[in-house]
Structure 1
């Protein structure tokens, strides 16, 4: 059985960038220990930063609440907008910069973690965070998430493995979202909800 990360290792994992997995801080011995356990890797190019592997991301999600450090009132951590009434309006140049930076970071993560260095196919982090990954691809392409009375996309988890549902009342927007996800390396198809007859997308990360 694989040993659980130590408290110090958990703190490092929790402090990592949520999109790229870049580790912040930590001693060389601590970083080397994470690499040895397969939870992180050292980038071969200068400045030789350390990044979480897919196993490291999963370990971070599995950290018990009791050992997580309390979050400050405003952490400034980027979060993809999945579409919902409680989300703030996705407007303003600052948000555009955040989304662009997060998308560029995700492409870099693909390059570093996909075995063939491909950036046109989702990586392990995206498969472990399906809803956030699909929402980021949509927002980075300029689609608007739903919020309050505003129409837009809503990305939701599904019972199917490695699949998310994308809902929007406008058929043209639905087709545009499908095209965006396909360009981002996802497979997307339209389906009809049996009870409401509403059309929606079912999207999965492409493997090849």
Structure 2
């Protein structure tokens, strides 16, 4: 069984950028994470280090209790709105956060897609489907469902690599479809048999 990361390594992993997985730490810490397969060093300057898919899974898994050392404070990172949040802070600060997160995701696509393409989703998005689709929608200016009123809602499905996207009406659904397709997703419109509500089934495009 692979040994879990040390407390110091875990703090580096927890502090990684929530979207790009960019790491900050000492050379020794970063080298140790690379050796464990939890991080990789980007081949192009400035040769930053990023979490691998295994590193992302480690960050999202519960941290085992440590008897000899107090638990580090949880990392508070950016979270795209999936719709249905009870509270939502709007304003210039949120707009800047969303813009920065989207630009970071495009950079992650450039760095991790084999051909450097930014017009289709990368591996991180395929393992964070709901968050990735919600970020694409929020970054394009679609309002999420919440205290301010109706809007989009993104939810997981039983289908592999697919999320369900709901909107208040057909026009909103078509607008969401256009945004997701422009962001490298493929969409199809369906009807729920029981409620007759229309929704999008969206999945990341591979080519």
Instruction: Note the 1:122-161 alignment, pairs <5 A.
Output: 122-148=121-147, 150-161=149-160
Match of 1:71 among 70, 74, 83: 74
Instruction: Note the 1:1-208 alignment, pairs <5 A.
Output: 1-25=1-25, 27-64=26-63, 66=65, 69-71=72-74, 75=76, 77-89=77-89, 91-148=90-147, 150-208=149-207
> What TM-score do you get using the length of structure 2 for normalisation?
0.90
The change in CA–CA distance for 1:182 and 1:40 in structure 2 (over 3 A counts) is same
Cα-to-partner distance string for 1:49-74 (whole Å, 9 max, x where unaligned): 211122211221124364662338xx
* Larger mean Cα displacement after TM superposition, 4-13 or 16-25: 4-13
Say which SS state the counterpart of residue 194 (structure 1) adopts: coil
Say which SS state the counterpart of residue 200 (structure 1) adopts: strand
The change in CA–CA distance for 1:30 and 1:71 in structure 2 (over 3 A counts) is closer
Cα-to-partner distance string for 1:131-152 (whole Å, 9 max, x where unaligned): 1100000011110101026010
In the TM superposition, residue 92 of structure 1 has moved relative to its aligned partner by 1.4
Cα-to-partner distance string for 1:98-154 (whole Å, 9 max, x where unaligned): 111100000000111111111111111111111110000001111010102601000
The size of the alignment, in residue pairs, is 203
Hey, which bits of structure 1, 4+ residues long, moved more than 4 A? none
Q: CA RMSD in A?
A: 1.8
CA distance in 1, matches of 2:79, 2:48: 23
CA distance in 2, matches of 1:149, 1:11: 36
